[in-house]
Amino acid sequence: MQRRDQLFINGKWVAPHGNGKIDVIHSTTEAVMGTIPEGTARDAEDAIQAARAAFDSWSATPPAVRAEYIARIAKGLKARIEELAQLIVGEVGMPIKLARPLQVATPVYNWRLVARLLENFRFEEEVGNSLVVREPVGVVGAITPWNLPLNQITLKAAPALAAGCTVVLKPSEVAPLNAFVLAEVIEAAGLPPGVFNLVTGYGPVVGEVLASHPDVDMVSFTGSTRAGKRVSELAAQTVKRVALELGGKSAAVILDDADLAAAVKGTIDACFLNSGQICSAHSRMLVPRDRYDEVKAIALKVVGGFTVGDPLQDTSLGPLVSAVQRDRVTSYIRRGLAEGAELVAGGPETPEGLDQGFFVKPTVLGNVAPGATVAQEEIFGPVLSIICYDTEEDAVRIANDSIYGLAGGVWSGDEARAIRVARRIRTGQVDINGGPFNMQAPYGGYKQSGNGRELGRYGLEEYLEYKSLQLKRPAA
């Protein structure tokens, strides 16, 4: 049981202005595993003012010195990997064997990567008679989600700090305990007061202050498209920069010459990771109509290999994050069946023997119409929709028939053909034949999946402004 009763503002742990507390619920036991402060608008304003006061000094700090701080943060997080993994397993439900590498080791890698980027990053260059310089945006409000909590914080805080920005973080109130550990690590690393601030609370209070406050120069948000629209609306009043990483309904296109077994398994794995609680989940599988029966048989066998249960044991799928999320996902499964989908595997019933915890059966729905609710709306759970197509042109049309454009996949025996099809899919990233995720490549979406990019140097560039210094040169 972790009781956190202070916020981290201006380099100190301080009492919040209000008395409200928020319970953090364990996703497997349904017990209260911790409490955090319910931050107020005044707390958010205090943090913003601390960040504003720290900005001039931090932005003038040499990149090499900023890199040293960031490397120390990476080292501090590495020393607490097991503690963080256990925390996030409780908060989110990802099995421990995946939580260690994905929920904690990946953020450690990304802090290190950002520190290394500063070694050779060009903050200025001469273009004709101009000196073009890159300068930090300013004070950044970072609003992060619960599904990959520490990593999503990292993808905002690390590059923002590296760029010379100061940060006010509002983590998800559903999975916030890991953010307190990060704040402790940052404190131990000796980051100057006000450079990083942590305020917990609810989006309509703390989040809206960050999005609307005139002293916040940029807001970076990851979460639902609905909430992202609200952030954009508020931010527009002060014309601040906005970066959004929002929802997805990604399609994996399996072409007629693909290795069917590998493609079906790879797509299911990409859909069910973290119990489907991944915005880039490949939740639509597009298959040739004349191969549908083969696909069903393979999918049934693959899903049968998933074990659902206690994430601290040797399981493939843990619970969903909350009762609200569990009920939302099972209602989508029922809706899909009511709209005519075939139940290939799983279903809306509680998995046998798992009455405690927010568990959902890994589910595959077959013969889903492209316009069906489950084919159009983000479910954020372990639910895969199989959609049949007749031609390659048809497959591309269906893949693009979405308000989203975050991720996807193409499977083919001919890589050149797969790349040709991938170029036609309007989405921020496409895996070719199961190509692995690259943390140095840009990540972000088209359409209502958001704007801006994270990861690698592309993520660092999000937090920089261009300035042109026009120099008067002697006449030739």
What whole-number distance in Å separates Cα of residue 40 and Cα of residue 198? 12
d(CA 311, CA 451): 34
- Find the helix packing angle between 292-304 and 260-272, rounded to 10°: 50
Give the chain's count of helices (H) and strands (E).
16, 23
Annotated catalytic residue 83? no
First to last CA, the chain: 73
Concerning whether 245 is annotated as a catalytic residue, the answer is yes
Query: Distance between CA 181 and CA 26 in Å, rounded?
Result: 17
423: Cβ contacts below 8 Å, ≥ 6 apart: none
Name the H helices within 347-413: 373-376, 392-400
Take residue 301 and report the two structure tokens written for it.
């066998």
Instruction: State the catalytic residue, choosing from 173, 208, 245, 454.
Output: 245
- Nearest Cα to Cα of residue 175 among 309, 22, 31: 22
Q: Closest Cα to residue 59, out of 124, 135, 141?
A: 135
Taking the C-alpha atoms of residue 188 and residue 209, their distance in angstroms, rounded to an integer, is 28
Strand 124-127 to 241-245 pairing: unpaired
Q: Which of 279, 388, 454, 462 is catalytic?
A: 279
Contact 415, 422 (CB under 8 A): no
Pairing assessment for the beta strands 251-254 and 408-411 based on DSSP bridges: parallel
Known catalytic residues? 245, 279
